[in-house]
């Protein structure tokens, strides 16, 4: 039976529903499902293009490893990234000193992609593959409009939340 999660931009009051890809990414789906709910400051990507994400403390033990990876996510993809502290703590990335990006344990990045032509590359590190673990099946257009508003008006005070759906 399919499992679903909700993903919300809380301040903007927008929620979408995504189906977990248990067959394609079983370890990642288990790690995320077991760790829900998760919520943190929302960020709009600088380099990947049409991406909104949050950074939360690492929660997968053991880490799921690479499965169902992509460097070219499509609209509706929900992607897991596990980062070591040295990978995202560069001051040039603009994260506040107290954010998860500066944690000694690294961070887990939970991301949604809402438009086309995304490319996961970082000028410091090269390709940044992520695990596609869910696909948005309801509310993508509303989430895309809210994500575009984040890009145009800023992310301050916004949170991105992931929870189990009924």
With helix as H, strand as E and coil as C, how does the chain read?
A: CCCEEEEEECCCCEEEEEEECCCCCHHHHHHHHHHCCEEEEEEECCCCCCEEEEEECCCCCCCCCCCCEECCCCCCEEEEEEECHHHHCCHHHCCCCCCHHHCCCCEEEEEEECCCCCCCEECCCEECCEEEEEEEEECHHHHHHHHHHHHHHCCCCCEEEEEECC
Q: What is the number of domains present in the chain?
A: 1
88/71 Cα distance (integer angstroms): 17
Domain containing residue 108: CATH number: 2.40.100.20
Angle, alpha carbons 90-69-54 (nearest 5°): 45
pLDDT at 105: 87
Mean pLDDT is lowest, of 28-42, 61-75, 87-101, 131-145, for: 87-101
Mean confidence (pLDDT) of the chain: 93
159/53 Cα distance (integer angstroms): 9
Its pTM stands at 0.95
pLDDT at 152: 94
Q: Mind listing the pLDDT tens digit for each residue in 73-117?
A: 999 999 999 998 888 877 777 777 777 767 788 899 999 999 999
- Is the pLDDT assigned to residue 40 strictly greater than 80? yes
Q: Mind listing the pLDDT tens digit for each residue in 139-164?
A: 999 999 999 999 999 999 999 999 99
Domain that holds residue 121: 2-162
């Amino acid at each position: 039976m399919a499992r679903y999660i909700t993903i919300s931009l809380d301040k903007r009051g927008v929620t979408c529903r995504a189906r977990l890809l248990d067959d394609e990414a079983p370890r990642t789906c288990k790690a995320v499902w077991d760790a829900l709910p998760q919520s943190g400051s929302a960020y709009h990507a600088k380099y990947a293009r049409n991406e909104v994400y949050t950074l939360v403390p690492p929660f997968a033990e053991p880490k799921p490893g690479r499965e169902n990876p992509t460097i070219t996510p499509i609209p509706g993809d929900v992607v897991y990234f596990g980062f070591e502290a040295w990978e995202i703590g560069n001051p040039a990335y603009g994260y506040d000193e107290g954010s998860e990006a500066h944690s000694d344990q690294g961070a887990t990045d939970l991301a949604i992609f809402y438009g086309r032509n995304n490319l996961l590359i970082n000028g410091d590190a090269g390709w940044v593959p992520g695990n596609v673990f869910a696909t948005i099946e309801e509310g993508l257009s509303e989430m895309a409009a809210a994500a575009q508003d984040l890009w145009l008006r800023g992310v301050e005070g916004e949170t991105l939340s992931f929870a189990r759906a009924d």
